[in-house]
A and B are shown apart, each in its own frame.
Chain A
């Protein structure tokens, strides 16, 4: 037998007999399962998800569902093909035993695997004060159950809703509140909405958009406390500027937390930013060595990106989840010579205040921005983002049909600013600072230390984060 035929037999028999387990039954998990079957994988396939729902589509939750146009349960993802999988819905994975290649479930079961896909995504950051977190009328929005509850609360026409955090989801929710004719306050810690994703220049436009739509937008302010009535329902919010607000509904839109806890002790490069993997979706272990059996896709994945100085990026967008899942699936059932890289150009969209926002690339990587087409005043424009003289991203307001042009330039690392268009030049077409916040602010990363002295016994270890006071004393 030739080596080639041996290798080919190996792949064929693996596809027929292997056991693949996917943890996380949302978009990435489902599309990975479908892609595995498309790849000719006929072995056993298990999908584990902690929610009882079949995989559903999240983007409508903060838009059509919240507005009451589409019931929350009508958001199931379309199925591209039959996947003949063993579905384990409503059961969370609680641990990973890499030595024995088993996923541990909350009900005590152990599910063995030959290849594992980690697609457990993220969850909403909960209200920081555990007592206040129990108040009625306080919501987060990530799941379809969340959306159903919040929609019901808005349907009851609260006298005022407070949205804490003006990222994309928070802003979309504020937009829905205004569409429903509800009074809404948005409290944002930074200078304007969308600043984290799009920078201060676009943030100022988003702020005007919110205020013009009748949103009571408070910036540079945080919500310090919530107060409830005797029945345990939220009634008042205290802001860091000393003001108080009477509210019946509060939505904490404080960003997301990666679902990595179940990987504790699994010795993977998992942490605050997600699970690190290579561009072929293979997970890194704690030492930064790539694994052969564990793959990562969806919001929880972070991989080096060639276009962004090989920095590790988490791309929490729909198409990145789909394409990452398909790449992971392909690489799970193929050998090295046939592997594919997952090199998505990030793309995202939002709908708020009657404006269609679309973007491409990583805006927050930029230091400069320039309006290239249209009119920011009329909320119809394209702006390009640059870093060190090359274009890295673009965002459009009601101008999405132009983005392919910018996407092609970003892929080529074309010079910034881009050449002027032949028409519809913005009044101000000069590059200016994009005004992103400094990403070097400290985050809650755990400590990692190197142990061992002999080169062959060197390795990394996580150390639990020490409380501040203890750290200060040491």
Chain B
């Protein structure tokens, strides 16, 4: 048996990215575990759900001792000449509520009911084009991440946000630099770890600088997309300031990007890893949405978000989290809590009562969930329909560094053919 501190360190270590679950199980022996004096990790499903609705749990990054340690104010931010603000995921009400309302007005019902459904024809077309390209190449293998899962959400979020898709190679590097730079394992203290953190900070600054210029442009001249709409909003909460659009655009961009890519890749990986699953979904495609939810339960595209802390002493699951401590809500672990999910490690597309927390919950529940569901459904369904006899080349595949946005870096699949 490991101490919670050791289990947490192992769970965060990059070497264990493909399978952190045994360490999650170790942690879950204490559903709310103290891993450092000022860091508590929640792995029990009920305890996590309870905390999601507790207004004494703050999401404000500026209150979190963990954020203070892992992401000290980047000097580059100050060089850019503005005080960094927080996005709504890293804020508390009332600012959170106001920013989220401002974003939702241009993204979802009741004010923008057509936006997400309106992306469907483009996504469908893109999925088909990408598989056509694989087919035209004439190989019998392809990388599901780079050649299929990645381009779909990126082009969709670019269009929604009003970001030129031709800038993709630039922000791709920045985003992965930022995510690779956030390391909560002991490796962060190594020379390589410090170098990754420095690269990440620089990438973050460059990305924000890029967004800032884009935003300034839209502030001068309105254009298509969410960024411009936020800047020129005439809704009840007024326009969003450029200083606030920067972190919110960054959030939506990263979230609308990476977690969807990871979920598409994980759907393919998990289905191919479990014999019979692909045949089941082929013969009963109506199970595809449930298979996606089951994949989210098992693989949780966002394992946790690191900004939460206790604003007061909070007693939960037999533990008192002291005021001021950082709190990690480890969705990926709660989703495999055997108290809540029978046979939690089993992939079962027909699982009943699958109320997983892969989308988070409470006031911070995933804004992009309906868009992600649409993208993943279309991408996964096209893959199932067209890729003939797909097999995993390497299991586990190589993973990205990020412990939060967890997913394969590449996912090589062999196949017999691509149907027309």
A: residues with CB less than 8 A from B are 372-375, 380, 401-405, 408, 419-424
Give the distance in Å from the alpha carbon of A375 to the alpha carbon of B56 in the complex: 17
Could you list some 28 contacts between A and B, CB below 8 A?
A373-B55, A373-B93, A374-B93, A380-B94, A401-B363, A402-B53, A403-B53, A404-B50, A404-B53, A404-B362, A405-B54, A408-B50, A419-B312, A420-B312, A421-B56, A421-B311, A422-B55, A422-B56, A422-B57, A422-B58, A422-B312, A423-B55, A423-B60, A423-B92, A424-B92, A424-B93, A424-B94, A424-B97
Contact B363 A402 (CB under 8 A): yes
Residues of B within 8 A of A408 (CB): 50, 53
B97, B362, B365 pick with most chain A CB within 10 angstroms: B97
B: residues with CB less than 8 A from A are 49-50, 52-58, 60, 92-94, 97, 310-312, 362-363, 365
Give the distance in Å from the alpha carbon of A70 to the alpha carbon of B283 in the complex: 36
Contact B53 A421 (CB under 8 A): no
A290 → B minimal CB distance (Å)? 33
Residues of B within 8 A of A420 (CB): 56, 312
A331 → B minimal CB distance (Å)? 23
Residues of A within 8 A of B53 (CB): 401-405, 408
Give the distance in Å from the alpha carbon of A403 to the alpha carbon of B49 in the complex: 12
Query: Could you list 6 further interchain pairs (A-B, Cβ under 8 angstroms) beyond the known A403-B53, A424-B97?
Result: A373-B93, A374-B93, A402-B53, A404-B50, A419-B56, A424-B55
Contact A422 B363 (CB under 8 A): no
Give the distance in Å from the alpha carbon of A422 to the alpha carbon of B57 in the complex: 7
Task: Known A422-B55, A422-B311, A423-B60; judge A374-B94 contact (CB<8 A).
Answer: yes
Residues of A within 8 A of B312 (CB): 419-420, 422
B269 → A minimal CB distance (Å)? 33
Residues of B within 8 A of A374 (CB): 93-94
Residues of B within 8 A of A372 (CB): 55
Residues of B within 8 A of A380 (CB): 94, 97
Give the distance in Å from the alpha carbon of A422 to the alpha carbon of B313 in the complex: 10
Contact B50 A402 (CB under 8 A): no
Task: Known A380-B97, A402-B55; judge A422-B92 contact (CB<8 A).
Answer: yes
Give the distance in Å from the alpha carbon of A403 to the alpha carbon of B310 in the complex: 19
Give the distance in Å from the alpha carbon of A408 to the alpha carbon of B54 in the complex: 10
A419 → B minimal CB distance (Å)? 6
A407 → B minimal CB distance (Å)? 9
Give the distance in Å from the alpha carbon of A424 to the alpha carbon of B310 in the complex: 15
Closest chain A residue, CB of each to CB of B311:
A422
Residues of A within 8 A of B310 (CB): 422
B52, B56, B93 pick with most chain A CB within 10 angstroms: B93
A410 → B minimal CB distance (Å)? 13
Give the distance in Å from the alpha carbon of A374 to the alpha carbon of B363 in the complex: 13
Top 7 A-B residue pairs of the complex, sorted by shortest distance between their CB atoms: A422-B311, A421-B55, A423-B92, A424-B93, A404-B53, A405-B53, A422-B56
Give the distance in Å from the alpha carbon of A421 to the alpha carbon of B362 in the complex: 15
Give the distance in Å from the alpha carbon of A405 to the alpha carbon of B314 in the complex: 12
